[in-house]
């Protein structure tokens, strides 16, 4: 569930940066925010390192929560086998 949420958040972030970067280029928008977005949109290599870092941190946090909440020590109820006669 954690990785799915992070994947969605990253996809939305990348899409927003790309869309706003194209809008800044097409409308010739200048200024601090628009210039930074255009630079970031043109340099997805640096953004890729950040994305990999986000996935590593989310995986580590998820693993810590799993271990400290002792999810691996919980009893699992096994459903009774049902035999169907045809």
Q: Rounded to 5 degrees, what are φ and ψ at 29?
A: -80, 135
Query: What's residue 19's pLDDT?
Result: 87
Rounded Cα distance between 39 and 23, Å, is: 13
Per-residue pLDDT of the chain (86 residues; tens, 9 = 90+): 677 888 898 889 888 888 888 888 888 888 888 888 877 777 777 778 888 898 899 889 988 988 888 776 776 666 556 666 66
Position 83 scores a pLDDT of 61
Supply the pLDDT for residue 12: 92
pLDDT of residue 85: 64
């Amino acid at each position: 569930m954690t990785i799915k949420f992070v994947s969605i958040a990253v996809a939305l972030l990348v899409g927003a940066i790309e869309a706003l970067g194209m809008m800044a280029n097409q409308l010739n928008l200048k200024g601090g925010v628009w210039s930074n977005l255009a630079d970031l949109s043109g340099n997805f290599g640096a953004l890729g390192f950040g994305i990999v870092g986000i996935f590593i941190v989310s995986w580590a946090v998820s693993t810590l929560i799993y271990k400290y909440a002792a999810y691996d020590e919980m009893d699992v109820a096994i459903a009774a086998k049902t035999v169907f006669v045809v």
